[in-house]
Amino acid sequence: MNKGVISLGEALIDFIPLDQENLTYQKSPGGAPANVSVGLARLGVKSTFLGKVGDDVLGRFLQETLRNYGVDVSTLILTESARTGVVFVTNAENGERSFDFYINPSADRFLNAEEISDELFAHHRILHFGSISMISEPSRSATKKAVQTAKEKGMLISYDPNLRLGLWESEERAKETIVSMLSEADILKLSEEELTFITGEENVEAGIKKLSHYKIPVIFITMGGEGSLVFTPDYSLRVPAMKVKAVDTTGAGDAFVSGILHGFNEYEGSLSELTKEDLEGMTRFASVSGALAAATKGAMTALPTKDEVEDILMKDMK
């Protein structure tokens, strides 16, 4: 069985505030799929990033950063025809954050289907993607091609919409596009807010019932400090969050996804054979990964190693 994860989508530069007044900022590599690719590499998983950045100082910085973390960047394309995206992150007192995107459209939106080789998908187990690459062409068609090719090769499809409404032309277009890819997912990760946005339901169970139409094998709902919920067609479970003081939640969701995909990459059976115990173990691992990231400033710089996660899990078992 193949091992390894391809993360498709945006690699951007986050400018993170160094003070509570948001007056001084530090350049930090980011972009949800890029964060996931680094998170996976930190956890010891074969990790490949598929995307496009500007052939500029920020794009080359991202390429070098991912490479230094152990990510395969042979399919990270540098282009002279668009700039690398920039995001200003503003932190609130509770550690939560807001995002202001600059350079729109940025280079990541110009990945096209012809630049994606079918051969890439013959050597990995999982394709992970989000919704930002679905906002506009040509990256929308590139994403659809990647998902279709991955499914044809028997890969698992992981989908984290990572809703950023400010990037979409309208809420209606965002919802329509995000929903259009739900039936492709084997693994879906949503926040409570994203579940409500997609389904119109405030109640989690009611929202999950609406999603049952798409026949998604495993759905993870993250609830911050309240932990996470896992739903399959046969059962559900709740995993509490590890209690930490949230310093910066920028990379916490991506660290959670990395932890989940680490588990699925290691899992040898079919999705229909997943037991409650299997999923509980994966989710506990992911929850610790997310909590450790939330307790540290930055996105990629906060992503934990496998040893760091396992040390905490071992202490919890004692």
The CATH number of whichever domain residue 274 belongs to comes to 3.40.1190.20
Which of 44, 45, 49, 48 lies closest to 59 in space, CA to CA? Answer: 49
Identify the domain containing residue 39 by its residue range: 5-317
Confidence band (pLDDT; 50, 70, 90) for 242?
Answer: confident
Strands across the sheet containing 236-239: 76-79, 47-54, 5-8, 126-129, 156-159, 187-191, 218-222, 228-231, 236-239
The pLDDT confidence band at residue 95, using thresholds 50, 70 and 90, is low
What's this model's pTM, rounded to 2 decimal places?
0.95
Q: Please provide the average confidence, as pLDDT, over all residues in the chain.
A: 94
First to last CA, the chain: 34
The token pair at 241 is 């969050």
Count of domains for the chain: 1
| Predicted local distance difference test score (pLDDT) of residue 284 | 97
280 φ, ψ to 5°? -65, -40
Tell me: the pLDDT tens digits for 23-75?
899 899 999 999 999 999 999 999 999 999 999 999 999 999 999 999 999 99
- Work out the average pLDDT over 212-224: 96
Q: Respond yes or no on whether the N-terminal peptide bond of residue 233 is cis (omega within 30° of 0).
A: no
